Structure 1
Amino acid sequence: MTSSTTIKLVEPRIPKETLPAVLTIAGSDSSGGAGIEADVKTISAHKVYALTCITALTAQNTLGVTGVVETPKEHIEKILKQDLDDFVEGYGSDFPLKVVKTGMLSQGAAEVLAEKVGYLQEKKVKLVLDPVMVATSGTHLTDNKVIDLCIQKILPTAFLCTPNFVEAEYLWKAAGGSPPAVTTIDEFKEFVVLLQKKLGCENLLVKGGHIPWTNGKRHEGPLPGSPDLDLQIVDVLYQSKEDRLTTFSSSFITSNNSHGTGCTLASAIAANTANGIPLERAVALSIHYIHKGMSSVKGKLGHGNGSLNHTVAVDRSIREVIQGEDLRARVKGEHGSFFNFLKTHEIVRDSWKKYTEHPFLALLATNQLPFDDFLFYLKQDFYYLVNYARMHGVAISVAPNCEQIEAQSQIVTSIMTEIERHKTKLLTVYNIDYNSVDLDEELQPAPACMAYCDYLLKAGKMEDFLGIKTALAPCLHGYAEAGAYGQKIRDTFDGSLGVLATQEQSDIYTSWLEDYSSEWYLEAHQNGINALDLLLEDNQLSEERLLELCQMFRDVTDLEVGFWDEVVNRIKK
């Protein structure tokens, strides 16, 4: 008799995420290391949705190409129409497609794309063009008609062009004239700036993997099979609108797993751009992804020049990507503390003022906040406190030393003690029973609370100890400043009941403000400032990582604003 078993699966509960999309227009690589296949793997690894338009089917492996069948121009037109109709049209301004990335283009594909670039510009869809035109050996992979069409019609509309050095030289010749000799890094930088002027693309990244450097000079002769020689690779990015030149320097990697690195790098940049990451940081993260992919393959994929590993974890923070420096003297010398640096940074200060001088505080301080809306806030705040404690618990798992583990353990204990007091007090005073959440819908997280908690939990999965502590800082420190702001208003208030029903309710508002302007809370506020300063001393940060922390601090501050906005907006309804 056949046995029968029923397995009941748990319904997943995960936060909903906005999924941007990238359309890749390129040829297929049947070996999976380059072309469309590499693009889709890379874009998906970066948590971006990948659309495709296959310009040609190849019969190839890691040893070489034995056949190519191009997609007819009429069919490419149909593919692009279907993609654009479905991922751009009918959404208003916030449609999924953010970037179009190209690889090797057939003549038909180039002609169709040239007809579409005006539409992409109008819709503000960024174009990342990887000019797969000439192999390192000098073999032409694209005919002159396609190259001319790209130079005349497509490249001037591109957000970014990403040639390797050999392709960059060929583009220079195709645009007219002989490229200058490049023997020093300074000459390389000048070459990139001048080439951008010739091509007209908004930004130009010339990949330097084909010209390693040693002691600041171009390496001549065969590449070593071991890392004994100190070789550096330099990639150069020129951003024309900012007139900004950035070099990315890294050690030369000795690896046979480099098939498809160009396609993969352009796709990673496209995906990072679709995720809203600024170009300079997107390039740094993408180069690091390539290096991890080249270095992490054990053995070999294929008998020829093997593919890199597209399944490596994607870094979303530059903390492990860009080497840091000692910024303590500047940060503390100019601002007094790391906390003051964060809250007064140009991208934070406006949000910080909205938070610590929020209308919620004035309404509460003058008894104009309806008590039912205050109860709503307390219920939401309880749910947040549970996740706040959870985040401090997550911080324990990434704490850098035993002292920080002990400190975080004490913080979690204090929060849990406060939560229990919170529950007892609110049950006796407000008749709110947190053990009977099904009886009260407001004990479930509302949108603002859910967004805040989801952000913190996501940061807990992605960030290091300093990042988590930075994400938690606006709550502790903001309430100290908000409490002082509210208390100042309360001190000059005439004491009338306003919209409240009883003096007891007014006393509760007084008590709430006094809690956050009390000596014990100000002591916690100062201890938190000191703790952030100690963390700054233990970490060498790049300028880019410092900006990243400021952006996180601002994001959480905005979520705090949203938390109180939700309460105030209830009054307006």
Structure 2
Amino acid sequence: MSTFVTTAPLASPVLNKLSTITPIVLTIAGSDSGGGAGIQADIKAISATGGYACSVITALTAQNTQGVTGIYSISSEFVEQQLDAVFSDLNVIAVKVGMLSDSDVIHSVAKKIKQYSPQYVVVDPVMVATSGDLLLQASAIDSLKSELLPLADVITPNLPEASALISVKVPKTEDEMTAIIGELRQLGAKSVLLKGGHLEKDENSTDLLILSDSIERLSTPRIETRNTHGTGCTLSSAIASYLAQGHKLQAAVTLGKHYITQAIIHADELNVGQGHGPVNHFFALHTQE
């Protein structure tokens, strides 16, 4: 197992592009009315890391830093209409998929990804909000596993999500994370970024990038803050943004890990809400002054 400590500098949105093609990233996810997660976090992260963000909304949530009080699902027909509108006009290089509320929407998204064949697909299997609220119907998990995950270049489950996907107990240690690698590979995605942020007793936050024939360990010091709303959305969107800019998978993941780490480090500079506040997506606007 290789170990990488993510100390790479944040890529400049202008100077570090690897191509002159506009790095268009489509986020397919739900809306967070509080602005900290979902589509709103995705657009912020993609923009802050140098990509051009477009979006397809799959659900509306009544949500703030304290929890989710309502979910209104968008019909699969209208999700498809949005997807056709974006793909028929914009040169989408990478797609990030987040919250999908039911099996019909999952089927529609998978069908359109197959039809339009974007170069990269990042799937964040959103099931539970930071507050603990269920965001994915239990009946839809099988559809997610059979139809969408096999299309992904990388999936980014946290430990509770990985547990739900492969029906095991939530890992409590890094050794237990390592023990489920084989089962996660069987989900069919090209790679898996297993996020260890829930191992709160560890002094480091360690993720495992599980490739077909190797494992890379990405570790950063754990940051003490309650403002972690939208971390999963933000990380997966940053990875998609870096892929769209031409970075290889390992580099995109490393850059994404560095970006989310800095966004968490600077999260307490914001004063948003009374619960789990958002990370600071645009920290670089202030730290580079």
**What's the offset of the Cα at 1:156?**
1.1
Q: Which amino acid aligns with 1:188?
A: M
Residue 311 (structure 1) aligns with: 282
The equivalent residue for 2:194 is 206
Look up the match of 2:46.
Answer: 43
Asked if 1:67 corresponds to 2:70, the answer is yes
* Contact map agreement 1:213 1:233 (CA 8 A) in 2: no
Alignment-derived partner of residue 111 in structure 1:
107
- Determine which structure has the larger strand proportion and give its number: 2
CA distance in 1 between counterparts of 2:110 and 2:218 reads: 31
Alignment of 1:62-141 (within 5 A): 62-87=65-90, 96-107=91-102, 108-120=104-116, 123-135=117-129, 139-141=133-135
Equivalent of 1:232 in 193, 204, 208 = 204
DSSP-derived class of the 1:153 partner: helix
Report the CA distance between 1:184 and its aligned residue: 4.6
Of 124, 145, 148, the residue aligned with 2:142 is 148
1:419 alignment counterpart: none
Letter in 2 for 1:313: A
Matches within 5 A, 1:521-536: none
Distance change in 2, residues 1:251/1:154 (3 Å): same
Is this contact kept in 2: 1:163–1:206, CA < 8 A?
yes
- Match of 2:89, SS? helix
5 Å-filtered alignment, 1:148-547, equals: 148-173=142-167, 178-179=168-169, 182=171, 184-197=173-186, 199-212=187-200, 214=202, 231-240=203-212, 243-296=213-266, 297-298=268-269, 300-313=271-284
- Secondary structure of 1:288's counterpart equals helix
- Would you tell me which structure has more helix in proportion to its own residues? 1
Q: Residues 159 and 171 of structure 2 are in contact (CA less than 8 Å); yes or no, is this contact kept in structure 1?
A: no
CA distance in 2, matches of 1:37, 1:138: 19
Structure-1 separation of matches of 2:45 and 2:128: 23
Partner residue of 1:397?
none
1:370-389 Cα deviation digits (max 9, x unpaired): xxxxxxxxxxxxxxxxxxxx
Alignment deviations for residues 355-398 of structure 1 (CA, whole Å, 9 cap, x no partner): xxxxxxxxxxxxxxxxxxxxxxxxxxxxxxxxxxxxxxxxxxxx
TM-score by length of 1: 0.44
Which residue of structure 1 lines up, in the alignment, with residue 3 of structure 2? none
Query: 1:138 and 1:258 mapped to 2: Cα distance?
Result: 13
Q: Among residues 37, 61, 65, which one is paired with 1:58 in the alignment? A: 61
Q: Distance in 1 between matches of 2:176 and 2:201?
A: 12
Structure 2 counterpart of 1:345 = none
Query: Which structure ranks higher in relative contact order (CA pairs < 8 Å, sequence separation ≥ 6)?
Result: 2
Task: Decide whether aligned partners of structure 1 residues 80 and 47 sit closer, same or farther in structure 2, where only a CA change above 3 A counts.
Answer: same
RMSD: 2.4
**Over alpha carbons, which structure has the higher Rg?**
1
Other structure's SS at 1:86 match: coil
Gap change, CA 1:76 and 1:291, over 3 Å in 2: same
Deviations 1:281-337 (A, max 9, x none): 2112111111211121325211111011111229xxxxxxxxxxxxxxxxxxxxxxx
**Contact 1:257 1:300 (C-alpha < 8 Å) held by counterparts:** no
State the one-letter code of the partner of 2:174: I
Question: Is the contact made by 1:202 and 1:239 (CA closer than 8 Å) also made in structure 2?
Answer: yes
Specify the code of the residue in structure 2 equivalent to 1:209.
G
Distance 1:145 1:114 in 2: 17
Structure-2 separation of matches of 1:61 and 1:267: 20
Give the CA deviation at 1:211.
1.2
Segment of structure 1 superposing worse, 301-310 or 139-148: 139-148
Structure 1's 212 and 83: CA in aligned 2 closer, same or farther, altered over 3 A? same
Q: Percent identity?
A: 43
**Residue identity matched to 1:158:** A
1:412-446 superposed Cα distances (whole Å, 9 cap, x missing partner): xxxxxxxxxxxxxxxxxxxxxxxxxxxxxxxxxxx
Question: Aligned letter for 2:205?
Answer: I
Q: Which runs of 5+ in 2 are unaligned?
A: 1-14
**How big is the shift at 1:182?**
4.2
Q: CA deviation at 1:117?
A: 3.4
The CA distance in 2 between the partners of 1:169 and 1:39, in whole Å, is: 24
After superposition, the Cα gap between the structure-2 partners of 1:81 and 1:257, relative to the gap in structure 1 and judged at 3 Å, is same
